[in-house]
Structure 1
Amino acid sequence: IEAAVSCDHASALQPGQQMISHKPCVFPFTYGDVTYYSCISTRSDFDWCSLDKEFQGRWRYCTGLDSPQCVFPFIFRQKAVHNCTKEGYILNRSWCSLTENYDKDRKWKQCSPQK
């Protein structure tokens, strides 16, 4: 991220102070010509996310709570899936789609171990 990019932080900070925005990340978001479904480290040493669907210079660093969210129901093998599933995952772990149509988009994440 370029230094000129706004961080959506308060502008009246004293030297040495840093504020972190608490506004929610927007997923998915588009940065350049690419759509992202989770935090990215592009042009940064740390993961960040956009605060707008189309990146407009408003962003913040990610935290452990900013992981991508499952979308339910989602389409997998032309069927609606309403929960995390183990179907199709060779490691017998549950997963979910990050978009409404996994068959088309192929964006996914592993679900928590409890599911």
Structure 2
Amino acid sequence: VMYKYGEDGEWGNPSQAIRDIKTEGGTANEASCTFPFTYKGLTYHDCTTVDRERPWCSTDALGSWGFCKGHVPHSKPALVGTHGGSFDGAGPKCMFPFKHNNTVYKTCKILPDLDKNALVCQTDEEGSWGYCNCKVDKTPGGE
């Protein structure tokens, strides 16, 4: 059970206390977001734009949700193509966010169990993956 952390000293989840985000619209207007929440098998610790144009969050374990007040929509991730990996030749676009070994990723990453030297991403719900078609900054200080 998660309690809302109030000014009167109620105990609650500290991460929730710091980030009491109210919602508007959806199925839970004026309710507080509940973090973390799971949607389509992925766990979110912040508002997300997955399947909607505006940032939204879950407000309870029953599937109620609302648009996050005061959140500016994040820019959508660039469409990144792939090659190799689970595919011969050119592959489909990366799917962001994706989950690998119980961690959610929002960008291409080096995942040592797939390839310890190259950026990869997941391309579908079944876990297919590919090498990201992107340039990596190899200069000092670049990521």
Q: Which has the higher contact order (CA 8 A, sep 6+)?
A: 1
- The structure with the greater share of residues assigned to strand is 2
Q: Larger radius of gyration, structure 1 or 2?
A: 2
Is the TM-score greater than 0.5?
no
Could you state the TM-score of these two structures normalised by the residue count of structure 1? 0.37
